[in-house]
Amino acid sequence: MRKIINLSVALVMFLSLFSFTGCSREEVIELNVYNWEDYICKDENADLIAEFEDYASEKYGVKVKVNYSTFGTNENMYNELQLSKEETENGYDYGYDLVCPSDYMIQKMIREGMLEKLDRSLGNLDNYDTYSSKYILDLFDRNGWTDYACGYMYGTMGFVYNPEVLERNSGGEYQSGDESHWDFPWKTYSKNLGTIKDSIRDTYALAIGKVCADELTTLGLKWKAGEFTDEEYQERLIAIFNRTDPETVQMVTEELIDLKGNVYGFEVDSGKRDMASGKIAINFAWSGDAVYTLDIADEAGTELFYAVPEEGSNIWFDGWVMPKGANVLYAQEFINFLADPENAKVNMNYIGYTPVVAGADMHENAIEWYGVYTLIETDDVEGADYVDEETGIAYYEYYLQDLIDEEIFTEGIEYIDEGVDEETGYHALTVKNIKYPIYDDKDEFIIGFEEDFDVYVYNYDVSFLLNTYDDDGEMFIWTDTLGRQLETQYPTKETVMRCAIMKDFPDEEMARLNDMWDEVKVSAIPTWLMIMIVGIIVLALILIPILSYLNKKGVHFHVKRKSKRLTLVKREIINH
């Protein structure tokens, strides 16, 4: 009886322990996020994924964990979703809560019914709806994406180029302005100095720009002359860049095959490093990669530039979508977290791409990075931005626009209104006698200044994409900023208007492009290599049946490692 009682007590204690252990296990919400490589701020200084986990865990009272993975192309992402999907009562579960495809892939996923709708009744997309660029929101509305996607980053396609290398290697053939036209990488002086994207859609757009250059130029002139509204111009532009009729595809094929003999090669990511190192001088690039390239080149003491072709180009968008089966609540919370202006600034400054988030905060960020600053003497030594160790004089740092607005000219600073600069179309000023601050390597602290510095500056208008449709959207920038990071990250309205979005092609049209791409890529193989490959294949087809026959007859071969020659060892006749 005692044994039975002891057994009962032990069993109760065991079950109680199991019960308490089960209750103490922390609930974990796992969010599976699938994004482009190097496309979110995640380093020792700022980790937006870890910060979101902490934020969401505190807000919802459960532990939130993000399982973050990356892809290299839209097509890889799409294929992974198809492989991971599981059939459910309501259709399919794709295994991911949030993915970040580009414009044409978003359209394809909507068309194929792969996506959950956004649920604004949850109240957790307020940052995105409040701070996003009006232009971006309107664009999503016009294309039917608003119910399924939230914008993340946007940008243009153009050329990163090194004018110094081109001038040196071209023997005077290169002319400033060549980079602003689609035939740039086809120029004979650019042979083996350029790279293009190993991407069907992007490189097809490149060749369309070349094939239809005259048509695009005429269209643009008519738009500027007022013959078309902005909307009409955009519609015609989009139609041209998304043209896939057999005649156009054939012309594109011929142009790309011709281009293969002139460029250094295809690339997706290596072009950034090759440009910075000087290995190449032209790179067909996404604007975000262009900013990164210009930054690392600056660190190496090389000055690069970026240009969007005047005939028109592609404006691309990457957006967050939720595949079927996604955890809508937490997926939207992640989108909204990244749309907070402070997080958007951190993200932008880390990855180089431009977020759809706009408004005053982003305008201030642009001024902080690209505005013209000067130093003004102050008696407030403790609150000063810089104190000269030799003289003991303290200085405040002023943004030039604020200095002019507040009429602070105690240092003999003067400015001359130069009116509109004919070459650039920007309002220009000459500012005399400013003290130009010099910063440390990290651009964090002032370590000195240049005195009596005269500058020629432009008043650059960023209001279009920053939702500040007045003078507050303008900013004073250095003359040598043009064609570089600022214009790359913040294109003007005129630049954006002459850029077209990519459309999702029906299967028949996409098959035509795939055939074109196969033909182009095969043509890229050198003739001597193609002959060698064909020869090896033919030789293999001849030798394989011969060796198989000899093997059946008992003739065996082995390779002597020292001589590395095929040697006949022995022949045995085997009676079966």
Which of 132-146, 151-165, 441-455 has the lowest average pLDDT? 441-455
Mean pLDDT of 101-124: 96
In DSSP terms, 437 is beta-bridged to: 449
Return d(Cα 352, Cα 287) in angstroms, integer: 8
Which of 378-392, 465-479, 542-556 has the lowest average pLDDT? 542-556
Residue 272 has pLDDT above 90, yes or no: no
Mean pLDDT of 566-572: 33
Sign of CA dihedral 192, 194, 200, 206: negative
Burial class (CB in 10 A: 0-12, 13-18, 19+), 75: middle
461-470, 473-482, 553-562, range with greatest mean pLDDT: 473-482
Return d(Cα 212, Cα 224) in angstroms, integer: 18
Residue 570 has pLDDT above 50, yes or no: no
CA dihedral of 236, 240, 242, 245, whole degrees rounded to 10: 130
Average pLDDT score over the chain = 85
pLDDT band at 401 (very low <50, low <70, confident <90, very high): confident
Which of 128-137, 148-157, 467-476 has the lowest average pLDDT? 467-476
Return d(Cα 42, Cα 131) in angstroms, integer: 23
Residue 129 has pLDDT above 70, yes or no: yes
Q: Which residue has the tokens 């198989």?
A: 548
pLDDT band at 564 (very low <50, low <70, confident <90, very high): very low
Residue 404 has pLDDT above 50, yes or no: yes
Tokens representing residue 373 in the block: 């600053």
Q: Is the pTM of this model over 0.75?
A: yes
Residue 558 has pLDDT above 70, yes or no: no
Between 466 and 99, residue with greater pLDDT = 99
Residue 444 has pLDDT above 90, yes or no: no
Which of 290-294, 356-360, 542-546 has the lowest average pLDDT? 542-546
Mean pLDDT of 40-55: 94
CB-based contacts of 242: which residues, under 8 Å, 6+ apart?
500, 502, 503, 505
Burial class (CB in 10 A: 0-12, 13-18, 19+), 225: exposed
Residue 212 has pLDDT above 80, yes or no: yes
pLDDT band at 5 (very low <50, low <70, confident <90, very high): very low
Return d(Cα 358, Cα 489) in angstroms, integer: 12
HSE-CB of 393 using CA atoms within 13 angstroms: 8
Tokens representing residue 70 in the block: 């990356």
Mean pLDDT of 508-519: 93
Return d(Cα 125, Cα 127) in angstroms, integer: 6
pLDDT for res 16: 47
In DSSP terms, 36 is beta-bridged to: 71
pLDDT for res 361: 87
Between 454 and 94, residue with greater pLDDT = 94
pLDDT band at 526 (very low <50, low <70, confident <90, very high): low
Residue 2 has pLDDT above 90, yes or no: no
pLDDT for res 145: 94
Mean pLDDT of 390-415: 81
- The answer to whether 184 touches 282, Cβ cutoff 8 Å, is yes
Residue 262 has pLDDT above 60, yes or no: yes
pLDDT band at 553 (very low <50, low <70, confident <90, very high): low
pLDDT for res 364: 87
pLDDT for res 111: 95
Tokens representing residue 46 in the block: 């700022």
Q: Which domains does the chain have, with CATH numbers?
A: 26-153+321-353 (3.40.190.10), 155-316+500-523 (3.40.190.10), 365-466 (no CATH), 527-571 (no CATH)
pLDDT band at 527 (very low <50, low <70, confident <90, very high): low
Between 529 and 428, residue with greater pLDDT = 428
pLDDT for res 567: 31
Residue 506 has pLDDT above 80, yes or no: yes
Mean pLDDT of 211-218: 97
7-11, 306-310, 354-358, 408-412, range with greatest mean pLDDT: 306-310
Which of 273-282, 369-378, 534-543, 557-566 has the lowest average pLDDT? 557-566
pLDDT for res 528: 55
Residue 79 has pLDDT above 90, yes or no: yes
For 235-258, the pLDDT digits (tens) are 999 999 999 999 999 999 999 999
pLDDT for res 140: 93
HSE-CB of 425 using CA atoms within 13 angstroms: 5
Residue type, 22: G
Which of 115-124, 387-396, 460-469 has the lowest average pLDDT? 460-469
Between 211 and 389, residue with greater pLDDT = 211
Residue 540 has pLDDT above 60, yes or no: yes
CB-based contacts of 416: which residues, under 8 Å, 6+ apart?
429, 430, 431, 432
pLDDT band at 94 (very low <50, low <70, confident <90, very high): very high
pLDDT band at 462 (very low <50, low <70, confident <90, very high): confident
The DSSP code sequence of 512-547 is HHHHHHHHHHHHTS-HHHHHHHHHHHHHHHHHHHHH
Tokens representing residue 125 in the block: 């997309």
Say whether 503 sits in a helix, a strand or coil: coil
